Amino acid sequence: MGIRKAQITDVRRIKQLIEDHMHEGFMLPRPLSELYENMRDFYVWEEEEMIHGCVGLHIVWDNLAEIKSLVVDHFGRGKGWGKELVHHCLEEAQDLHIPRVFALTKIPDFFVKLGFELVDKDQLPHKVWSECIRCPKFPGCDEVAVGIWVCAPCEIPIPKTADNALALSRV
């Protein structure tokens, strides 16, 4: 079938994929309730009526989105499905006029091969203070931040307000 937007019936399988990779040391846990709340962020890769991969694109701010929970099971590894899942997220970010996308990962080389660059986590204040602060590994995070511009910031009219001035200056 290929890659499609996730449906409510996919959430438990997404949770299972994340837990399998969490036990391998590649991912942080995601509560089932959080996955249901954010189900519309996700794409899944389905083949023969089985979901073998997933990824989420979570909007962080008006100029920033995060690729989250990228997983491809052992059946699909090395076949380019992880790359395709990421490309779906980048296309969606571009369609939404979100100029910058980042990920926190333990495998930065995968993202670098797709055009991402290493970035300092200090450039991601909204992520750090909205989500990372609740992580059991904070402040000793062992993930690497990577980011990519999917469209030039000047192509998108972003109002300069007090709320987003810091984000604009740091991204």
Q: Quick: pLDDT tens for 39-52.
A: 999 999 999 899 99
Q: Predicted confidence band at 128 (pLDDT cuts at 50, 70, 90)?
A: low
Average per-residue pLDDT in the chain? 84
Q: Which residues contact 159 (CB under 8 A, 6 or more apart)?
A: none
Domains identified in the chain, total number: 1
Q: Exposed e or buried b for every residue in 76-112, given b needs 16+ CB within 10 A? A: beeeebbebbbebbbebbeeeebbbbbbbbeebebbe
Print the domain residue range for 166: 2-170
Cut 0.85: pTM above it: no
- Count the residues in the chain: 171
CATH of residue 78's domain is 3.40.630.30
Confidence of residue 133 (pLDDT cuts 50, 70, 90): low
Closest CA to 67 of 48, 44, 93: 93
For 118-157, the DSSP string reads: E--GGG-HHHHHHTGGGSTTTTS---EEEEEESS-GGGS-
pLDDT tens digits along 20-30: 988 777 777 88
Q: What is the mean pLDDT of residues 74-90?
A: 93
Sort 22 into a burial class: Cβ within 10 Å, 0-12 / 13-18 / 19+: middle
